């Protein structure tokens, strides 16, 4: 018994050794195999390894400050990094000063510690520090989630290198295939470890992640040769993060600013009897009867007609060209978009002829309400090349029936994704030069582009499976197209991880903008929900004073609102970059209908919204309980502002129906968008009434 407790069989030497011999030589003098149960770097000892690393990090920082020639300057630098609005600042600062920054002798802080024989460290700790001395910045693309601890992938900065296996429980619990992160990494004897924080790369249409990083570094004045690039990234990690965020915001801003949501009105005076004019109008086959609103009746219009553009290319439903309001003395034409107003006037004048006399025309730039751009970021950080071809959205209306299947929310999402992918292989894709994915798979000049398009689909299915517990799989399509390069097994079934704290999500606490406290709170909302008339007036007039979308978004920022950050976090993993931008357009329209410009923004409770979003998504099947005719009422049930939500949902469906096909939000994404829209309106209403 006593002898067994003091000795152990060493698989590296093939004989028994004492515990002290093992502890003094493993992984330094001896190459310990991965299966050795006595190795602190074995997988089964990972929990103990984390405790060792925490204690070692504290001792490493103590050494850095104790041996620093300018300790006061070092402490000041760390405090500045902690105060900076970046979740990466403190780790990037300490890692640079420990493992990369060199003195006049060309030595790093860690190398000076090695020369001092790693004062007071034991063998395992020395091995650990020497491993961290190999720290580098990697652009890691996840290929496989092996189990609850291990993730396999490649460093896109060295794609021909051997695949890397990372041991990281948090990453294994959350990551989908083809997630890409710019991160700090170092090799331990049997696997790699991530260190500190990471930048999760968002999708940038037409550019792969490595191109985004290279172009950003090139724009900021850095090198592109890999070894020099890694060192530069280590020194400028925070600046690169700022540039990536600025680029994403500028792409959002450009996309939203491009929306043609101009509301055009044209007034015509009757030159013939009303009945004769109405008969001539109703003879037009593109016309269908409609009912005027209470507000329109109050303006003197007794009847309404919808004018459809049946000459337009076939899409989902009949495309609405505009609206005609009929009064005894004047008729009014309405259209969204300058081009549609021109077309509507031409067809109207051709049909009515001399029975009508044009009186006047007015165009309101409601793009400042519907196409809110992001605040203009620091342009010096944004590579112009990455702004090419930002997503474009066109707003118009169609009469379309959108059937929704029954079942759980997860079943509905899966149904829409299945419908989308069913004929995907043989559908023409503009990004592939009009060729189908099947054709592109066999074309060497297009295959790389096809892989770039398919990876986000795989990632989104993995993310949906993680949220819903489903096991949907896209690998059948990959094999049908012969895309062996990305045919990796789906992740094992995983429990939904708990909500991430703000610093892990990458959203640092925001400081309150100057002048916010001096603003007056907005007027309390009246008891109960707003009616149709008041909602219409609020939505039409709240932003009329803004000349540009940028000015309106600047007002949002100046009010102290956290809306954009909150929604970005809520939509993470559910919506693509373009879908998030599309959603923000309507959220901001609703925001300014409730929170007038010039007032202080109400404080939103992100955690409450996140919890409510989960509950709302579970209620999705009830939306269609009464069939399509009751869907809108069911969607808005429980919302304190149902009229506002209904109008915003209607606008959102209009925009999604007529957006170009490659830019159209996917049907399953509309479910998440409506749910987010609903819970945000609910929270804004609650916050305003809590004042």
Query: 298-353: per-residue pLDDT in tens?
Result: 889 999 998 988 776 544 456 778 889 999 999 999 887 777 889 999 999 999 99
What is the reported pLDDT for 502?
Answer: 39
What is the reported pLDDT for 413?
Answer: 66
For residue 593 the two structure tokens come to 């209908």
Examine the domain organization and report whether 268 and 158 are in the same domain.
no
Identify any residues that bridge with 136 across adjacent strands, giving them in sequence order. 185
What would the DSSP string read from start to end of 477-491? HHHHHT-GGG--PPP
Examine the domain organization and report whether 318 and 440 are in the same domain.
no
- Count the alpha carbons within 13 Å of 194 in the hemisphere toward its beta carbon: 25
Examine the domain organization and report whether 292 and 440 are in the same domain.
no
Mean local confidence (pLDDT), 396-415: 55
Examine the domain organization and report whether 272 and 145 are in the same domain.
no
User: How far apart, in whole angstroms, are the C-alpha atoms of residue 492 and residue 220?
Assistant: 40
Give SS3 for 390. Answer: coil
Q: Is the pLDDT of residue 458 over 80?
A: yes
Residue 153 inside a domain? The answer is: yes
Examine the domain organization and report whether 63 and 84 are in the same domain.
yes
Examine the domain organization and report whether 338 and 454 are in the same domain.
no
Q: Is the pLDDT of residue 559 over 90?
A: no
Identify any residues that bridge with 231 across adjacent strands, giving them in sequence order. none
Residue 190 inside a domain? The answer is: yes
Of residues 217 and 252, the one with the higher pLDDT is 217
Examine the domain organization and report whether 11 and 53 are in the same domain.
no
Q: Is the pLDDT of residue 230 over 50?
A: yes
Burial status of residue 354 (CB atoms within 10 A of its CB: 0-12, 13-18, 19 or more):
exposed
- Helix 237-257 vs helix 226-235: crossing angle, to nearest 10: 90
Residue 241 inside a domain? The answer is: no
Q: Is the pLDDT of residue 397 over 50?
A: no
Cα-Cα-Cα-Cα dihedral sign, residues 335, 338, 343, 347: positive
> Residue 548: which pLDDT band, with cuts at 50, 70 and 90?
low
Work out the number of other CB atoms within 10 angstroms of the CB of residue 54.
Answer: 9
Examine the domain organization and report whether 100 and 160 are in the same domain.
yes
Report pTM: 0.67
Residue 646 inside a domain? The answer is: no
> Residue 651: which pLDDT band, with cuts at 50, 70 and 90?
confident
pLDDT digits (tens, 9 = 90+) for 436-454: 999 999 999 999 999 998 9
What is the reported pLDDT for 27?
Answer: 92
Of residues 690 and 565, the one with the higher pLDDT is 565
Question: CA 384 → CA 15, 170, 212, 240, 247, distances in Å?
Answer: 64, 35, 11, 15, 9
What is the reported pLDDT for 281?
Answer: 96
What is the reported pLDDT for 340?
Answer: 83
Diameter of the chain by CA atoms? 114
Of residues 464 and 373, the one with the higher pLDDT is 464
Residue 149 inside a domain? The answer is: yes
Query: Distance between alpha carbon 317 and the CA centroid of its chain, in Å?
Result: 29
What is the reported pLDDT for 78?
Answer: 86
Examine the domain organization and report whether 14 and 63 are in the same domain.
no
Identify any residues that bridge with 324 across adjacent strands, giving them in sequence order. 305, 333
What backbone torsions phi and psi does residue 316 show, to the nearest 5 degrees? Answer: -75, 100
Residue 337 inside a domain? The answer is: yes
pLDDT digits (tens, 9 = 90+) for 673-687: 888 999 999 998 888
Examine the domain organization and report whether 349 and 477 are in the same domain.
no
| Helix or strand holding residue 51 (H, E) | helix 46-66
Mean local confidence (pLDDT), 420-432: 82
The CATH number for 298's domain is: 3.30.70
What is the reported pLDDT for 312?
Answer: 61
Query: Distance between alpha carbon 461 and the CA centroid of its chain, in Å?
Result: 15
User: How far apart, in whole angstroms, are the C-alpha atoms of residue 565 and residue 592?
Assistant: 17
Examine the domain organization and report whether 171 and 197 are in the same domain.
yes
Instruction: Express as a percent the part of the chain with pLDDT over 90.
Output: 38
User: Which among 434, 460, 431 is positioned nearest to 448, based on CA atoms?
Assistant: 431
Q: Is the pLDDT of residue 623 over 80?
A: no
Examine the domain organization and report whether 85 and 14 are in the same domain.
no
Domain boundary among 318, 333, 364: 364
What is the reported pLDDT for 514?
Answer: 45
237 neighbors 137 (Cβ within 8 angstroms): yes
> Residue 227: which pLDDT band, with cuts at 50, 70 and 90?
very high
Residue 380 inside a domain? The answer is: no
Of residues 257 and 233, the one with the higher pLDDT is 233
What is the reported pLDDT for 1?
Answer: 40
Of residues 204 and 314, the one with the higher pLDDT is 204
Q: Are strands 599-600 and 520-521 parallel, antiparallel or unpaired?
A: parallel
Total tally of structural domains belonging to the chain: 4
For residue 19 the two structure tokens come to 């515990």
What backbone torsions phi and psi does residue 132 show, to the nearest 5 degrees? Answer: -70, -20
Domain boundary among 183, 204, 225: 204
For residue 201 the two structure tokens come to 């790369």
Question: CA 598 → CA 370, 550, 560, 586, distances in Å?
Answer: 19, 15, 11, 20
Average pLDDT over the chain, rounded to whole?
82
Domain boundary among 204, 228, 254: 204
- Radius of gyration over every alpha carbon of the chain, rounded to an integer in angstroms: 30
Domain that holds residue 463: 423-486
Q: Is the pLDDT of residue 658 over 70?
A: no
Residue 481 inside a domain? The answer is: yes
For residue 236 the two structure tokens come to 């400028």
């Amino acid at each position: 018994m006593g002898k067994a407790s003091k000795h152990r069989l060493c698989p590296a030497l093939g004989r028994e050794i004492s515990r002290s011999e093992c502890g003094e030589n493993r992984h330094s003098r001896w190459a310990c195999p991965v299966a050795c149960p006595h190795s602190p770097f074995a997988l089964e000892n990972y929990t103990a390894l984390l405790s060792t690393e925490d204690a070692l990090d504290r001792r490493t920082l103590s050494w850095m400050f104790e041996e620093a020639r300018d300790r006061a300057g070092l402490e000041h630098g760390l405090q500045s990094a902690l105060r900076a609005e970046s979740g990466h600042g403190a780790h990037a600062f300490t890692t640079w000063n420990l493992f990369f920054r060199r003195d006049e002798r060309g030595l790093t802080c860690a190398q000076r510690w090695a020369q001092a024989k790693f004062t007071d460290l034991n063998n395992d700790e020395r091995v650990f520090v020497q491993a961290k001395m190999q720290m580098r910045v990697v652009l890691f693309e996840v290929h496989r989630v092996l189990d609850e601890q291990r993730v396999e992938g490649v460093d896109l900065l060295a794609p021909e290198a051997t695949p890397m296996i990372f041991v990281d429980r948090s990453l294994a619990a959350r990551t989908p295939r083809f997630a890409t992160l710019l991160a700090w990494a170092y090799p331990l004897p049997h696997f790699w470890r991530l260190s500190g924080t990471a930048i999760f790369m968002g999708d940038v249409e037409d550019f792969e992640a490595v191109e985004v990083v290279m172009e950003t570094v090139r724009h900021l004045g850095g090198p592109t040769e890999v070894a020099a690039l890694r060192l530069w990234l280590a020194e400028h990690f925070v600046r690169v993060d700022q540039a990536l965020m600025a680029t994403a915001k500028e792409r959002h801003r450009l996309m939203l600013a491009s929306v043609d949501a101009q509301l055009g009105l044209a007034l015509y005076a009757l030159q013939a009897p009303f009945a004769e004019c109405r008969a001539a109008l109703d003879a037009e086959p593109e016309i269908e009867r409609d009912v005027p609103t209470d507000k329109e009746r109050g303006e003197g219009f007794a009847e309404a007609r919808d004018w459809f553009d049946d000459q337009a290319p076939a899409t989902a439903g009949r495309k609405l060209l505009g609206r005609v309001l009929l009064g005894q003395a004047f008729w009014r034409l309405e259209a969204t978009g300058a081009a549609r107003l021109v077309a509507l006037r031409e067809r109207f004048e051709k049909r009515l002829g001399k029975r009508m006399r044009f009186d006047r025309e007015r165009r309101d730039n409601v793009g400042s309400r519907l196409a809110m751009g992001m605040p203009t970021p620091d342009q010096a950080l944004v590579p112009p090349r990455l702004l090419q071809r930002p997503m474009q959205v066109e707003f118009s209306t169609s009469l379309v029936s959108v059937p929704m299947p029954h079942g759980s929310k997860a079943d509905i999402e899966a149904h829409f994704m299945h419908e989308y992918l069913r004929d995907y292989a043989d559908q023409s894709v503009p990004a592939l030069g009009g060729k189908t994915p099947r054709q592109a798979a066999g074309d060497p000049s297009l295959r790389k582009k096809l892989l770039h398009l398919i990876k986000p689909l795989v990632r989104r299915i993995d993310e949906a499976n993680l949220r819903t517990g489903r096991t949907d799989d896209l690998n059948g399509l990959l094999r049908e197209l012969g895309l062996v390069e990305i045919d990796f097994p789906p992740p094992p079934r995983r429990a939904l991880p708990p909500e991430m704290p703000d610093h892990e999500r990458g959203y640092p606490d925001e400081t309150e903008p100057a002048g916010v406290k001096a603003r007056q709170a907005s007027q309390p909302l009246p008891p109960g929900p707003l009616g149709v008339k008041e909602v219409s007036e609020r939505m039409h007039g709240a932003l009329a004073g803004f000349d540009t979308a940028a000015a309106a978004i600047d007002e949002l920022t100046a009010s102290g609102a956290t809306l954009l950050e909150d929604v970005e976090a809520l939509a993470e993993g559910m919506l693509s970059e373009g879908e998030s931008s599309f959603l923000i357009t309507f959220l901001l329209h609703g925001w300014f209908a409730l929170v007038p410009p010039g007032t202080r923004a109400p404080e939103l409770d992100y955690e409450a919204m996140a919890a409510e979003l989960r509950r709302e998504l579970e209620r999705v099947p009830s939306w269609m309980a009464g069939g399509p005719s009751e869907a809108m009422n069911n969607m808005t049930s429980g919302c304190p502002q149902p009229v506002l939500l209904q109008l915003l949902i209607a606008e959102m469906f209009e925009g999604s129906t007529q957006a170009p096909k490659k830019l159209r939000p996917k049907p399953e994404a509309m479910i998440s968008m409506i749910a987010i829209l609903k819970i945000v309106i609910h929270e804004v209403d609650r916050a305003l009434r809590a004042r």
